[in-house]
Amino acid sequence: MILRILKKDLKRKKGMNLILLLFVILVTVFTAAGINNTLTVLNGVEHFMDVSGFSDMVALSLGGDVTEDELKQTLDEIPEIKSCKIEKTYMVSGVETENGDEKFSSIASEIQSLSMCKIKLFNNENKEVSAPDEGGIKLAYSLYEEWGLEEGSTVTVKLAGKSYEFRVDGWFKDVVFGSPFMGIDRFLLNQRDMEMILNDGEIADKPGYCVFIETDDSREVQARIIEKLPNMTTVTRSTLEMCFIMDILIALVVLIASVCLMAVSFIILRFSIGLTVSEEYHEIGVMKAIGIPDRRIRLIYLIKYAGIAILGCFAGFFISFPMTELMLSSATKNMVLESENPVLLSLISACLVAVMIVVFAWSGTAKVKKATPIDAIRNGQTGERFKKKSLMHLGKSCRDSASFLALNDIFSSPKRFLTVLISFSLCTLIVLVLVITCDTLDGDGIINLITAEHDIYSGYFGENGLDELIVSGNNFKTYIDDTQKELDTLGFPAKVTCDIMFSFPYSYDGVRQNSYFLYGLGCKVSDYQYRRGTAPQNAGEVAITEVKAKEIGADIGDTITVHFSSGDKNYIISGTFDILINLGNCLRFHEDETAVLNEPCYGCLAAGMDFTDNPDGETVEARKKQLREHWDTEDVYSAAELIGSQIGSVIEPLSSVRDLLLMITFAVIILVTLLMEKAFISNEKSQIAILKAVGFRNGRIILWHSLRFIFVSAVSAILAAVLSLPLTKLCITPVFAMMGASGVRFTVDGISIFIIYPLIILAATCTVAFLASLGTGSITARDTASNE
C-alpha cells in the first residue's frame, strides 16, 4: 500500500521531486566543498610548509657577504639549532622579459638548479616540479602571472656583466620565495645551464645561502644569527605564513562564500520540505479518513524524502570533488592547497546532509498529526483556523491588479517569501563582498597603507637605477632636485618626494634585531596615516607599525635604541601605523632626523610626484603616459598600479572567484525560483483557475507570479547592496589586519554595487521567474471544475 502511494507520488510530482533532488545535490556539494575548504584553508599555509619540507625558520644571505665557513661555524655555535639544511644560490643583477622591460620590483633575484634546492617546489597539479629542459627557466607563479609570461616566452638573466637568454618552461609553487611579499625571486635552471653559468663568470665565487633551520626557539636563534652575522636576514615560520596572506584572503573569501551557500541551501531545503508536506493535506486527510494511522502516514513521507536524500547525497558526494578543487584552484595557484582527507570529509558531509533531510522531513511531517479528514474535504481549511487581516486593500490601492496581488501575497505570507529574500540576499551579498574586495585591491583605496597619496609614483631612478643612489640617503636629495627640474622642463611642475628605506639594527628590552626604517624625504611625517598615537613630533621620536610593536612587545611611550654606524641613538615611540610592505614590519623617522640620510640606504619604495599646477585626473593620466615614454620605462604608476606592483597579482584570482560565485549564485537563484514557483503553482491551482474563469488573461497570471519573485529579488538586491559594505568590513578587515593593516578604506563603486550586479541578478531572477510562471498556462478556467 505504502509503496503504491509512493509510486503514485513520484509519478505525479515528477517536477517537484526532481527539483528537490537537485537541491539535495546542491546542498551536498556545497556542504562537502565548504567543509573541505574550511579545513584546507585554515591549515593551508601550515600544510604547504609541511609538504615543502620547511621546518621552523630560514636564514638568508643572498649577496655573497657571508662565506660558507663563517656560516657553518656560526650555526654550529648555536645550540638551539636542532638541524639545518644549507642551500646555495646565486644572485643575478637583473632580469628582462622579451619586450625589454627591466624587472626590478623584487629586492633580489637568485638562480639555481633544482638539485641545489633543499625544499620541495610544486607544479600546478601539486606534484613535485621537474627540472626545466636545457635552455629553459622556471619561476614562481606570482612572478609568471605578474610579468604576463607564457610557456615559450623569453627571459634574459643578467649576471656579472653577461646576459643569458632562457625560454620559459613553466612555473612552480614555492613556499619560501613564492609570495611577492617576500621580495625575492627564485629562478630554476637546468643543471647543465647552471654549470655553464658557474663556469662562465665570476658568480661562482660569491654564492648566497638559504639555511633551513629546525629549532624550538626561533627568536633566540634569530637574535644569535643577527648578532654574529648582521647581514643575514631571518624569516620564521610565522612570518612566512604572513607572506601568503593574500592567497589566504582569497581562500577565506571562498570559505565565507561556501558557508553562505550552505546556509542558503539548508534554508531552502527546510522550507521546501515543509511546503511539499503541507501541500499534501488532501492526501493526508483522505488517508486519515480511511483509518491509516499517523505513524504510517509519516513513514510514507519519510521513505520518500530519505530516498531523495540518499540519491541526492550519493550524486552530490561525487560532484563535490571537482567542485572543491575548482573553488580552491580558483582561489590560489600560489600555494599547495589540498584537502588531506577529501573522501572521508565528503562522505561525512553527504551523510550529514542525508540525516538533516530526514530530520527536516520528520519535523515537517509533524503537521500530519494536526491534519484531519476535514482537511481533505475543506481544501486544507478546517474552518477553525483564522488568518490575520490583509495588510493591503485593493480599493485603496492604485496598483494594477497583478502587482497588487503579488505584493499582497508577499505581505500575507511573509515567512514563505522571507526564505526567498534571505536566500537571494545572501547570494547577492557574497558576490558584492567580492566586488568590493576586488575594487579595493584594484583601486587606490589602500595606498595609505603603502605610502602617502600622490598624483603619480615613479620607480625610475635614472639610467643607473637605484644602485648609485642607495650608497647614501643624501643622494636622493640630488635625485629629487634633478627630477623636479626635469619635470619643470617638460612643463609638469611638481613636488617630488621619496620614501627611502633603511635597514638598521635596533634594541628593545635587551633584544637586538634588524628592521626596516622609512624616511620620507621631501615631505612631512604627518602626511602619512597613523592608527594610534601621533606622528613623530621631533627628531627624537619614531612611529612603529602595529605588527612590529606587537612582535617586540613595545608600545607608545616606550624607547627603542637604533644602532647606526656612527653610534647609538634612543627614540621614543610616538604612535603606530599600518603598512602593507615588509609584512607590516617597519618604523618611521621624523623628517628632522636628517642624520639618517648620511647612512647607506636599503632602497626606495617609489618617488611620489604631486603636480603643483593642479591638473585634472585626465591630465595626470596623460602626464603619466608621457613620463613613461620620456623615461622609456613602464615604472611610472598611478596609486592603483603601485598597489598592484607591491602586493602582487591577487585581482585576477579574486575576480575569477567572483565570477565563479556569480555563476553559483545564478544556479541557486534558478533552482530556488523554480522550486518555489513550482510549489506555488501546485498550491494555488484553484486560485489560478478561478482568476482565469473570471477573465484574467494568461499574461496577467504570469505577471502576478513573476512579480512576486521580482519584488523579492529587488528588495534582496537593495538589502544586499546596503549591507555589502558593512559585511565586507566585518569579514575582510580582519584579513587585512592579519597583513598588518586594519584601517583599510574600502572602495565602493556605486555603479557596480547598486546598479550593475543587482541588475544582473535581478535580470536572472526575472527571466527564471517568467519561465517558471509559464507553468500557470497549463491551468485553465475549466480546472475550476476539476479542482478538489
**Window 428-487: residues binding other proteins (CB under 8 A):** none
Which of the stretches 361-369, 436-444, 552-560, 774-782 binds other proteins when contact is defined by CB under 8 A?
Answer: 774-782
DSSP assignment string, 462-473: -TT-HHHHTT-T
Residue 780 binds other proteins, judged by CB under 8 A: yes
In angstroms, give the least distance from the CB of 686 to other proteins. 5
Residue 398 binds other proteins, judged by CB under 8 A: yes
Least Cα distance to 409 among 685, 711, 767, 772 occurs for: 711
In angstroms, give the least distance from the CB of 417 to other proteins. 12
Which CA distances in Å does 575 have to 48, 676, 769?
A: 36, 56, 56
> Contact with other proteins (CB under 8 A): which of 12, 393, 485, 532?
393
Please say whether the beta carbons of 157 and 163 come within 8 A. yes
Which of the stretches 22-30, 76-84, 724-732, 779-787 binds other proteins when contact is defined by CB under 8 A?
Answer: 779-787
Residue 314 binds other proteins, judged by CB under 8 A: no
Residue written as grid cell 485593493:
394
Residue 401 binds other proteins, judged by CB under 8 A: yes
> Contact with other proteins (CB under 8 A): which of 1, 290, 694, 751?
694
**Window 358-387: residues binding other proteins (CB under 8 A):** 379, 381, 383, 385-387
In single-letter form, the type of residue at position 739 comes to M
Q: Taking CB under 8 A as the rule, which mask of x and - marks residues 664-693 in contact with other proteins?
A: ----------------------xx-xxxxx
Greatest Cα pair distance in the chain: 102
Q: With the C-alpha atoms ordered 370, 374, 377, 379, is the resulting torsion angle positive or negative? A: negative
Which of the stretches 99-107, 204-212, 290-298, 397-405 binds other proteins when contact is defined by CB under 8 A?
Answer: 397-405
Which of the stretches 94-102, 226-234, 269-277, 403-411 binds other proteins when contact is defined by CB under 8 A?
Answer: 403-411
In angstroms, give the least distance from the CB of 767 to other proteins. 23
Please say whether the beta carbons of 119 and 336 come within 8 A. no
For helices 294-331 and 14-42, give the axis angle rounded to 10 degrees.
50
> Contact with other proteins (CB under 8 A): which of 73, 363, 413, 478?
413
Q: Taking CB under 8 A as the rule, which mask of x and - marks residues 536-555 in contact with other proteins?
A: --------------------
In angstroms, give the least distance from the CB of 385 to other proteins. 7
Q: In angstroms, rounded to a whole number, what is the distance separating the alpha carbons of residues 425 and 715?
A: 8
Considering beta carbons, is residue 2 or 394 the nearer one to other proteins? 394
> Contact with other proteins (CB under 8 A): which of 2, 344, 359, 394?
394
Residue 389 binds other proteins, judged by CB under 8 A: yes
**CB-hemisphere CA count at 13 Å for 124?**
13
In angstroms, give the least distance from the CB of 721 to other proteins. 29
Residue written as grid cell 526532481:
18
Residue 412 binds other proteins, judged by CB under 8 A: yes
Helix intervals (H) in 43-140: 44-52, 68-76
Q: Taking CB under 8 A as the rule, which mask of x and - marks residues 320-349 in contact with other proteins?
A: ------------------------------
Residue 408 binds other proteins, judged by CB under 8 A: yes
Least Cα distance to 189 among 214, 211, 170 occurs for: 170
Run of H or E including 274: helix 245-278
Considering beta carbons, is residue 694 or 751 the nearer one to other proteins? 694
Residue written as grid cell 613556499:
175
Considering beta carbons, is residue 370 or 782 the nearer one to other proteins? 782
Please say whether the beta carbons of 564 and 517 come within 8 A. no
> Contact with other proteins (CB under 8 A): which of 696, 709, 736, 746?
696
Q: In angstroms, rounded to a whole number, what is the distance separating the alpha carbons of residues 448 and 252?
A: 24
Residue written as grid cell 597613523:
530
- Residue 204 is given by DSSP the state G
Considering beta carbons, is residue 397 or 478 the nearer one to other proteins? 397
In angstroms, give the least distance from the CB of 388 to other proteins. 8
**Residue 132, C-beta contacts closer than 8 angstroms, at least 6 positions apart:** 114, 138, 166, 169, 170, 188, 189, 190
- The CB density around residue 79, as the number of other CB atoms within 10 Å, is 11
Please say whether the beta carbons of 174 and 186 come within 8 A. yes
Residue 390 binds other proteins, judged by CB under 8 A: yes
At 65 the three-state DSSP class reads coil
Task: Give the binding site for other proteins (CB under 8 A).
Answer: 379, 381, 383, 385-390, 393-398, 400-401, 404-405, 408-409, 412-413, 686-687, 689-700, 780-782, 784-785, 787
